[in-house]
A and B are shown apart, each in its own frame.
Chain A
Amino acid sequence: MSDVSPGMPTSRRQFLTGSARLAAGAGLASIIAIKPAGATPQALQGAIAEVVGEATVRSGKVTLSVPPLVENGNTVPLTVSVDSPMTEAEHVKAIHIFNEKNPQPYVLTVRLGPRAGKALIATRIKLADSQLLTAVAELSDGTFWSATADIIVTIAACIEDVK
């Protein structure tokens, strides 16, 4: 069946094998909505590798502040600061934030420089589930430093149904 596109099951057996693989991959019964691909630790490592290339990422200099118990994953306040004099000679060029369990691993990239004065940024992010957050700072001397935070995400108590 050469004229059939790859996504289309061409026989009942193919269709059943496909669904079984999907259900097994999701790890849940078929009544649950399928989780989009990309939410894996490998995707996270891949995203970090894209930014740092061959360089080693060292622990330190970076502080990642997130409430340890998040009231609602839709809006999670986040602060990242990097210990740096922020001079022309020695400063933070960029801060990259990654997540582990959202549908895709990127959160934010911020470009700074000596004009910043202080390497501190704050924002609000979305977290799909309790997970590890990673912040990687790119310094002017080409080194990379990182910090991680383990966050627990709770949900609204009276589950909403109707708008």
Chain B
Amino acid sequence: MANNVNRVTTTVTADRRSQSGLRTRPSGNFFKAVSAVIWKDILAEYRSLELVSAMTVFSLLVIIIFNFALDLDIKMRQTVTAGVLWATFSFAGTLGLNRSMSVEKDRGCLDGLLLAPVDRSAIYFGKAISNLAFMLLVELIVLPVYSVLYGMNLFLPGLLMVILLGSIGYVGVGTLLATMSVQTRTRDVLLSILLFPVILPVLLPAIIASNGFLAGSALADILFPLAILIAYDVIFIAVAFMVFDNVVEE
């Protein structure tokens, strides 16, 4: 190694001085940083499967428990489906958000991210998009299992759109709050306490709109909760974008 060290010292010193210490290209880095965070999260998850497997097992347990606990007729099942689905997604999502940020904190990697010379909102968007991908993957696994267990077709385009919009809002605010809570000693419980009151404006219209699509209501009746859902998605993401820098800095 010593030979390598000497050789590299000589060549790199001359090279470095000529570039005045800057290999970093200053512009156009935002989207590259976002895609780098997504690539890193997906690759690490592909190797470990810690996050998605925990979320999936938890989700399946919840819907199985609901299935046995409620013991409902077909009509009643249709009524409770939206509530059961969103309760399942919310609890599993909390598990995933906690894990996603713990990985960053435990080995000091959050500092590594924050040291990069990029707008810190790029880190937020990268983490939020990868969290959304994991949540949607779990939902894709849960939906057919739920359909079989409860004897219902959940693959309705309207319902799938609501699940997508609700998940975006959930992950948008959840990623921000997970970043805050992971820096505290009580991070395991704090996220749930912080997240559920804040996420209600997303969950309630998502449940109402999901119920509407499951009951086959007219689109005009579902438009209002859908509009609220979209509005809260935009508001939550905009707020997270604006405050993320302050949340991560001591």
Chains A and B come from one and the same complex: no
